[in-house]
Structure 1
């Protein structure tokens, strides 16, 4: 049994005890079903897409918590089921839309966000959920998966922040008083395997350095809210197995910010999905590398198209329809460079504006 203290969202709410208990864990057999525990989770990109739609369409956004988390395993068998009773509409039996009104429900194990234009429909859904599960109504959404949600409904703006988490990270690695920097990584860093420890003394010297922990914290922030550090995090994460002193200096450089193949997808002016990583194959030319990156980006675009179509938005992203075009962009205007290389301050600032990233 694991017992922890859970703090309130804003840091001032009463603290609560949080316990996790595995019933009859001693009956589980290693190699059979010892690690087979599954929970329903939503993709981070899906959360940002819903929040972008919520902000632009001025929808209501509430948060719920399932007191007893319900777990569902993946079914291997083919399951046949009838349409729920009371849901039939003549001629619209296969439709999931009621008069064009959508209710979006995002579930991450036991954390839940509900968005809808109609407050009354959200209240009806809460009553329905409470009839099936023991729920806790947290009211207007303030935080999800460590992301703090701040909203200005009059301007149609929503901010996602991990400020409290970042402050804690800086304190953990004794960097809270370090001088802030403008770029995630300076151009003088030339990281490679040659900088890995070569002698036993160097290995022992780096053994006490919390390199993996620091990179893990940066990776968590990058995945949720910070596409601006995607490239540099992908660089420093390559040396997790045997980091050297120069690699550690680079990690500390990344931490020294006031708010701490690559692609970036925007929806209604909001950055909702991004990636920066090494390609899985070795390209024989720059052109081949660019086609590989374009292929990955289009695949993700098709997934996003399917998602937003299910959410009631009509988006087209195929090359054959002319929605995706391959055009040359001058290097001075190619803001995608922020995901593949270290760029000058002026260009990096332009990228921040494009991605909707700002300091609070």
Structure 2
């Protein structure tokens, strides 16, 4: 979406009707005769499938193989790091296709090429042409093309979630989680009465609803959603109160959206941060990162680290490893689109920990750093090879700060 805004591409949407029925079957499969259609002796006669149907384990995979075969025959090429993104070039004209199960987004700088692709798809599959993309996967797309601005909003989805859990008239909240709030297993039910009370509450369903919002357009709730997700199997009332606090925050910010605008320079910039031993149950730290392109967030994550670190420098360095892994994937993905010049240059990461920056940028080893797992040292190798550069910024400028801790309202 960031590139659609920057290059002012046409953006259309299509839907494949009964997509899974298009898949071909590679093996012999029999099924019982369905109710209402019986031929001969139903106990001794079965149906032999000629095409894929809904309910088969391999239905989705066979549909993808069929679609891939068809779209490649029209001159499209698959992105080298994402199998569901395709592109096609015809001189200065180009078009991109994104497939998500049966939903298709088409982005092109030429309207005729876009319509040719639509006609081709309609010839091979039963399609529904939805025209200009305005609502996909629960996400509203707002465009101000004259200003080069594109926004992604989940206002309708958030309103449905608030209504589902009886919070549509709740008092708006300032922050998704209070500064200093910690969650632990000590807050889980301690007796049968507390367990029966929490069983009446749709905790797992509510956290799942929050997760979809944070994955799509709301990085601001990624930290607290990840924390609450650790207690899905045995939540306590304190955890449920925290869920309701997030819902009140969404009530206040439901009109907010991710925004991308046309800029002079295209560059992927990453920010990474971590707390120190923030998990009271395991003493592990939480890493967070966010990547920006043309001023808007395109990828983010907040997750508990896999090992216990003994210092703040170690936690930041481990966070850098995870962040650089995803950053290089992002750069390869954008490079594979072949419309962004110079994106192959060094990936830039920002830290607010000077010790981690110094350790990453030199070959010195100290007694405090020698215990760091060897796999994390690939960060140094990436810096030396020119793939990655690490810079220090002040804590007040750290964009990834809300992904690792609760912050006070501004």
Give the TM-score range, shorter chain. 0.7 to 0.9
Q: Which of 334, 338, 351 is the matching residue for 1:308?
A: 334
Query: Shift in Å at residue 85 of structure 1?
Result: 7.6
1:342 aligns with 2:406: yes
Deviation per CA, 1:122-143: give whole Å up to 9, x if none: 0111111112111111110011
Alignment of 1:4-83 (within 5 A): 51-69=1-19, 70-71=22-23, 73=61
Structure 2: distance between partners of 1:151 and 1:321: 40
Alignment of 1:175-214 (within 5 A): 175-187=167-179, 189-214=181-206
Closer/same/farther in 2, CA of residues 329 and 85 from structure 1, 3 Å limit: closer
Closer/same/farther in 2, CA of residues 320 and 155 from structure 1, 3 Å limit: farther
Given the two structures, how large is their TM-score scaled by the length of structure 1?
Answer: 0.74
Matched residue of 2:211: which SS? helix
Structure 2: distance between partners of 1:85 and 1:143: 29
Q: Equivalent residue for 1:238? A: 230
Report the count of equivalent residues: 283
Structure 2: distance between partners of 1:120 and 1:202: 63
Matched residue of 1:308: which SS? helix
Deviation per CA, 1:145-182: give whole Å up to 9, x if none: 11111111111111111111111111111111111112
Query: Shift in Å at residue 96 of structure 1?
Result: 5.8
Closer/same/farther in 2, CA of residues 325 and 85 from structure 1, 3 Å limit: closer
Q: Equivalent residue for 1:115? A: 107
Q: Which of 329, 341, 353 is the matching residue for 2:393?
A: 329
Deviation per CA, 1:235-293: give whole Å up to 9, x if none: 11111111111111111000002235211111122211110011122222221211111
Q: Which of 319, 325, 328 is the matching residue for 2:383?
A: 319
Q: Which of 220, 234, 259 is the matching residue for 2:253?
A: 259
Does the CA contact (< 8 Å) of 1:236 and 1:247 recur in 2?
yes
Query: Shift in Å at residue 188 of structure 1?
Result: 5.5
1:143 aligns with 2:135: yes
Closer/same/farther in 2, CA of residues 164 and 299 from structure 1, 3 Å limit: same
Given the two structures, how large is their TM-score scaled by the length of structure 2?
Answer: 0.65
Matched residue of 1:325: which SS? strand
Structure 2: distance between partners of 1:290 and 1:344: 22
Does the CA contact (< 8 Å) of 1:189 and 1:250 recur in 2?
no
Closer/same/farther in 2, CA of residues 85 and 290 from structure 1, 3 Å limit: closer
1:295 aligns with 2:283: no
Structure 2: distance between partners of 1:101 and 1:272: 25
Structure 1: distance between partners of 2:134 and 2:148: 16
Structure 2: distance between partners of 1:121 and 1:62: 12
Structure 1: distance between partners of 2:154 and 2:200: 27
Does the CA contact (< 8 Å) of 1:215 and 1:251 recur in 2?
yes
Q: Which of 297, 301, 310 is the matching residue for 1:275?
A: 301
Deviation per CA, 1:21-41: give whole Å up to 9, x if none: xxxxxxxxxxxxxxxxxxxxx
Query: Shift in Å at residue 68 of structure 1?
Result: 2.8
Closer/same/farther in 2, CA of residues 125 and 199 from structure 1, 3 Å limit: same
1:103 aligns with 2:100: no
Q: Equivalent residue for 2:153? A: 161
Query: Shift in Å at residue 56 of structure 1?
Result: 1.1
Structure 1: distance between partners of 2:11 and 2:176: 33
Query: Shift in Å at residue 192 of structure 1?
Result: 1.3
Q: Which moved more, 1:308-317 or 1:211-220?
A: 308-317
Does the CA contact (< 8 Å) of 1:195 and 1:244 recur in 2?
yes
Q: Equivalent residue for 2:52? A: none
Q: Name stretches of at least 5 consecutive residues in structure 1 with no aligned partner.
A: 1-50, 76-80, 88-94, 347-360
Q: CA RMSD in A?
A: 2.3
